[in-house]
Each structure stands twice: as C-alpha cells, then as structure tokens.
Amino acid sequence: MSAPATHRTELTVRGYEIDALGHVRHTVYLDYAEHARWEALAAAGLSAPTLLQHAIMPIMLETTISYRRELRYDDVVAVGCEFEWGTGKTARITQPLTRVEDGTVAAEVRSVSGLLDLTTRTLVADPLDRLCALATDPEVLGLGRVA
C-alpha cells in the first residue's frame, strides 16, 4: 500500500442541513464526503467531464461512518481525503471531518472505491495506471506512490 496523500476541502454547515435536534443530519456527512472526493479529483485534474470523456467513473463499493461530535449551523468543517492505493482494483479512502474552529473530529467516513469502465460496466483492472495517465497532478490522490 502507498502512503496516504491528503487533500482537504472546507465547507460551512448550511441551515437546510440541520435536523430537529439542531445538528447536521446523519446523511449530510455522506454529502460532505462525496463533495470532498470530487474536489480532490478535480484538484488532480480528473474532473467528471474528463473521466466521462475516457469512459471511466469512480464508484463507491463500501462506506462506513463513525460519528463522534455534533456539527451545528455555521460551523466550518474541513473534510480530508486520504487515498490508499494497493495493487488491486480498489482504493481505500479515509475522510476525517474536523471542525475548523477547535480541531474537533466530528466524524470519520471510510470507504472502498473502484474505477468503473463505463463501456464494459466492470472495474478497471489497474486503476492506478489509468488515473495516472489522465491526472495533471496525480500526487493529490497519492497516485504514483505505491510501494
């Protein structure tokens, strides 16, 4: 496995994301994680149009969330993306969600992701080679650092 590369995206909790208890709804954490993953891909030069042009798209295979502390309206949260690539068809992504004001970890999203070939509808056998060939800054995703 490679050493994880970390990309960080900051967002502010919006009013419509709050539940009746006054904190961020549980499913919103998944939205934050998804947004941060797309921001990381874009920073690496792998925007959705670029990926679609090459008939590939990342897919989520498994996701778990550990909730630790509340996030409330107007909190600024940093969502990290730590990509760990092995030699197979999948990558592991760890995403800590941290309140910027005090550094409190509010949650952690852990996922297993693959790269889908949109033509064959199967996982790409070597996603590292495919993504490295397309990325303008592969280090953002930890590509090219596989041991």
Segment holding 78, helix H or strand E: strand 76-85
The span from the CA of 121 to the CA of 138, in Å, is: 24
Please check whether residue 142 lies inside any domain of the structure.
Answer: no
**Does 1 score more than 90 pLDDT?**
no
Containing domain of residue 106, as a range? 5-135
The secondary structure of residue 4, as a DSSP letter, is P
CA-wise closest residue to 27 among 39, 11, 16: 16
**Does 19 score more than 90 pLDDT?**
yes
**Does 77 score more than 60 pLDDT?**
yes
How many domains does the structure of the chain reveal? 1
Please check whether residue 145 lies inside any domain of the structure.
Answer: no
Q: How much is the pLDDT for 16?
A: 97
Q: Can you give the CATH number for the domain in which 54 is found?
A: 3.10.129.10
Is residue 92 packed enough to be buried (19+ CB in 10 Å), middle (13-18) or exposed (0-12)? middle
Q: Are 68 and 107 in contact (CB under 8 A)?
A: yes
Q: What is the mean pLDDT of the chain?
A: 93
Q: What's the pTM value of the predicted model, to 2 decimals?
A: 0.91
Please check whether residue 74 lies inside any domain of the structure.
Answer: yes
Q: How much is the pLDDT for 26?
A: 95
